[in-house]
Each structure stands twice: as C-alpha cells, then as structure tokens.
Structure 1
Amino acid sequence: MSHELITYYDDATGERSGLTAGELGSWTAATAALLTAECGLARGSRAGVLLPPHWQTAAVLLGAWAAGIEVAFRGWSTAGLAPDTGPPLDAVFVERRRVGSWLEDVPEAPHRFVLGLAPHGAPTPDVPHGYRDFPAVVRDHLGTPPPADGVGLREVATVDGTTYGEYGVVAAEVARNRGIGPGDRLLIDATASEEPLTWLMSPLTAGASIVICANLDRTLLDARIAAEGITHFD
C-alpha cells in the first residue's frame, strides 16, 4: 500500500480511503479550477479553511495554493477564522458538522463550500442554505490540468504574509527535526495535529507519505503500523 501518498482511516466508522500522488494531484487541480475558472478567484484572493486533517482537506489546501490563493486556516477545535486585518475572505471551506453548531465562527465569503468528509468523496447530505457541496461541484473539474503558471517563492501563501518560500523552508525544517525523510510513512493522530504544516506539508516536503487516523483506536495501532509500513508515528 506504499504507493498511496495519503491514506485516511476513521476508526469510528471503519472507513479507509487512499489516494496515490496522481489521484491527489487530480483533486488538487480540480480544486484550483473550481476556485479560478468557476469562482473567478485569482492570485491574491483569500480562502478560509475550517477543516480537520483529511485527504479532502489536503486537496482544498493544495488546490488553493496551486492557484496562488492565500489561505487562512483553523482546525475543527479552534474557534474563529477571519483575519484580523486586510481584505475579507473570498471563499470559505467548512466541515458539515460545524455549520449550525459553531455558525458564528464561520466568516462571511461570497463563495461558501461545505464538506461532509464522507467516504470516497461522496456527496454531502443536507447541504446548508447558502453553501455549495464541495465534493459534488469539484467533480465537474476532475481531469482539468493543473495551473500552467506555478507560484513563485516570493508570492504570499497565507493571510499572515508568509511566502511560499518561507513556508517551504519551515516545512523542511520541521521534517528534519522530526527525522522524516524520503520514503518514510507517517502515521498521524488527527485529533493531536490539526496544523497543516505538521500533518501535511512537512511530510510532503520531505518526500514522505501520510496515514491520517481519525478517532484512533489504539488497540488497532500495532496492526496498522505493520500493515501500512509506518516508520513514524505522531
């Protein structure tokens, strides 16, 4: 199973989903096309991401960055998202369970997407008013090639002004400090690591693959480490 770049488990439901680098790249390119070709966003636009660690979250983040869009990120357990200064958000992505319970924490944006994070990217049931179902609408763009113009190292990646070059340097340093290198396979406890720099970008920058476990059942841990060829556990 080491050909999968990102694998997702939910021990509460028994779900296991896995994407190769090509499949994740396809979802990434589709997300970039959704934001640019359909929503009209461009370099310098801002997208808020209010999602837990998940393979669809990876597609949203990587797709926004591929399009040169600045990202504001908060995990599931962190309240608040809107940047303190600067222009408002142009798009927001939010996990379905959050809408209606912490609605006041979801900032306004012209383009609002909800993700049910259902197995295999299935459509979200009961889409709230004012939102579009990301897994459904992004599929219209699957097969779209990635943006022709890559982002420059000096372009801004996050709403706090961090550039892609600076973000990449930090991601590489985090990977080195964790002892993660090419070919490693990292097991992530989704409840313990919501920052994408930790669970997504540092392993990808190092050339490692990722296994995300939601609702981690530690009685399954030894068997999963063996089955997935895990070399690091966070």
Structure 2
Amino acid sequence: MTAGDLLTYYDDRSGERFGLTAGELGGWAAATSALLTEGGLGPGDTAAVLLPPHWQTAAVLLGAWSAGLKLSIRGWATAGLTPAGDPLDVTFVERRRVGHWLDEVPAGRHQFVLGLAPHGEATGDVPDGYRDYISSLRPHLGVHPPRHEIQEHLPAVADGTTYREYAQAAAGVAERNGIRAGDRVLIDTAVQEQPLIWLLGPLSVGASIVLCANLDPSRLDARIAGEGVTKVL
C-alpha cells in the first residue's frame, strides 16, 4: 500500500498498478476542467462519457462535474448517450470501442479518445475527428482553471437528477454499504460499473478506493491485506 493513496487502480490482466493521492487526482480533475472550460464549455453543457471504471475515468468525471457539465451515464459501460438527435458538447470514448460505437456516438463539438494505457500514456492511434485526451490534458496539469459555482438545482446527469440529489445519492450509497471516513474500499469493476458506487459513494464520506479491473480471485486475500482494505464491494 502506498501511504496517502486516495485511488489505487489495478488491472490484473495487464499487471498495472497506479496510485493517486487526493492532490494528484484533484490535479487531473482540475486539468480536465481547464481543458473543457478552455474549449468554451461550462455549466449546462452536455458530456457523454463512454469509459469503463478506471482512474482516468475518475479524472474525467470529476473534472466534467467541477466544470458544471451534465453527464450522460445511462447504461454506463455500453451506452451513456443522450437520446438520438440531441446535441452533445463533448464526448469521451475508450479507443478500443470507437469502432463499435462510431455510428452510435452523436457528433460533439469536442471529441476525446482515451487509450487507458498504463501510467497515463498517450494514445498513438487517434481516430479522425478525435483528440487524444492525455496529450490534450498535459498542458493543463498544474494550471488552476476558473472556478464555477456549482448550482445545486441544475442537472448533473442526463436523467435530470440535480447536483444536490446526486450528492445525496452518493451519500446514500456509502450509508447502505456501511462505508465510513477512513475506510479503504476494494471494488471489482466487473461487479460495480456505476460511478455512484465505485467513485462517488466512497469519496462522499472520505473513504479511499482500491479499484480492480479483471480481478484475479487468487490475489484477492493478498491484496486486501497489502492495501489495508476494510470494505469489499
């Protein structure tokens, strides 16, 4: 366990382990917010995030929400789109899925692709009409974006749930699962795909996250011990 990690990401298929402190995750989220605001986006604009649970997804989500955007997250892992024909201001798409979804993803004013490579490496093969998220983000790391006063009555997600209601839902997730401040929560991404559960629930009460993709059950006990896990979802 790395002392101070707020979010630790494992992929047992690739062997990746990547940890971020609260300051580091906040820096990635702030850079994402700066990237979006520089592009003229702000409160009320719409984003589709077609990404699996991942530490980079956490940065995209937190950055987009801090910029005041409304996110499409219906059917998180496979859809997440606003109804056909509705305009989108920005889309974030996993590179390996672009070919499958290209006809389904509405055109956005801004379109970013993420390779989700280990340790935040840039995507080498960027489809036409897209920008690489990592390459676009790097100039903004360490830059403080303009702060938007989040209007709690505005929708945070496409179904109309407001920022206030979404925050209450996150706190409810923590309460139902017995997550408390200081807990270290291990989450299997194959089981928990919704960001209310794998990201916002733990963060809402001051818990830290061990996010595990392609989890190898034979490694579970050692990981729980090594990471100081206190709760498993």
TM-score interval, smaller chain = over 0.9
- 1:120 to partner: Cα distance: 1.3
Aligned residue for 1:90, secondary structure, equals strand
**Are the equivalent residues in 1 in contact too, given 2:51–2:93 (CA < 8 A)?**
yes
**1:154 maps onto 2:145 in alignment:** no
The change in CA–CA distance for 1:69 and 1:210 in structure 2 (over 3 A counts) is: same
- CA-to-aligned-CA distance 1:92-137 (integer Å, 9 cap, x gap): 0001110113322322212110000011111012111111000111
- Whether the 8 Å CA contact 1:2–1:229 is kept in 2: the answer is no
Question: Quick check: 1:97–1:116 contact (8 Å CA) kept in 2?
Answer: yes
Q: Which amino acid aligns with 1:41?
A: L
Write the distance in 2 (CA, Å) between the matches of 1:77 and 1:21: 25
Name the residue aligned to 1:138. 137
2:37 touches 2:145 (CA, 8 Å); kept in 1?
no
Mapped to 1, the partners of 2:169 and 2:185 lie a distance apart of 18
Following the alignment from structure 1 to structure 2, what is the Cα–Cα distance between the partners of residues 3 and 194? 24
Residue aligning to 1:89: 88
Matched, 1:73 2:89: no
Distance 1:129 1:86, change over 3 A: closer
CA contact (8 A) 1:186 1:208 kept: yes
C-alpha contact (below 8 Å) 1:156/1:164 kept by paired residues: yes
Paired with 1:88 and 1:124, the residues of 2 have a C-alpha distance of 26
Relative to structure 1, is the Cα distance of residues 86 and 131 closer, same or farther in structure 2, using a 3 angstrom cutoff? Answer: closer
Match of 2:34 in 1: 33
Asked if the contact 1:81–1:105 (Cα under 8 Å) also holds between the matched residues in 2, the reply is: no
Q: Give me the whole-angstrom Cα distance separating, in 2, the residues matched to 1:148 and 1:102.
A: 33
Give, in angstroms, the shift of residue 74 of structure 1. 5.0
Aligned to 1:105, the other structure's residue is in SS state coil
- Runs of 4+ deviating beyond 3 Å: 74-77
Query: Where does 1:4-153 land on structure 2 (aligned, <5 Å)?
Result: 4-37=5-38, 39-74=39-74, 77-78=77-78, 80-84=79-83, 87-153=86-152
The unaligned stretches of length 5 or more in structure 2 are none
Residue by residue over 1:117-169, the C-alpha shift from the partner in whole angstroms, topping out at 9 and shown as x without a partner, is 01111101211111100011101111111432331322221122111110011
CA distance in 2, matches of 1:104, 1:76: 18
Distance 1:170 1:29 in 2: 23
**Overall identity of the aligned pairs, in %:** 59
State whether residues 51 and 75 of structure 1, in contact with CA within 8 Å, keep that contact through their aligned partners in structure 2: no
RMSD over aligned Cα atoms: 1.6
The alignment partner of 2:159 has SS state of coil
Task: Give me the TM-score of the superposition, normalised by structure 2.
Answer: 0.95
Q: 2:164 — aligned with what?
A: 165
TM-score normalized by the length of structure 1: 0.94
Q: Which residue of 1 aligns with 2:191?
A: 192
- 1:3 deviates by 0.7
Alpha-carbon displacement from aligned partner over 1:67-113 (angstroms, at most 9, x marks no partner): 101111256742x3331289511000001110113322322212110
Partner-residue secondary structure (3-state), 1:94: strand
For residue 101 of structure 1, give the secondary structure of its aligned residue in structure 2: helix
Decide whether the 8 Å contact of 2:70 with 2:157 is kept in 1.
yes
The 1:74–1:50 alpha-carbon spacing in structure 2 relative to 1, beyond 3 Å, is farther
Question: Distance between the aligned counterparts of 1:165 and 1:86, measured in 2?
Answer: 28
Residue pair 2:76, 2:194 contacting (<8 A) in 1 also: no
Q: Which runs of 5+ in 1 are unaligned?
A: none
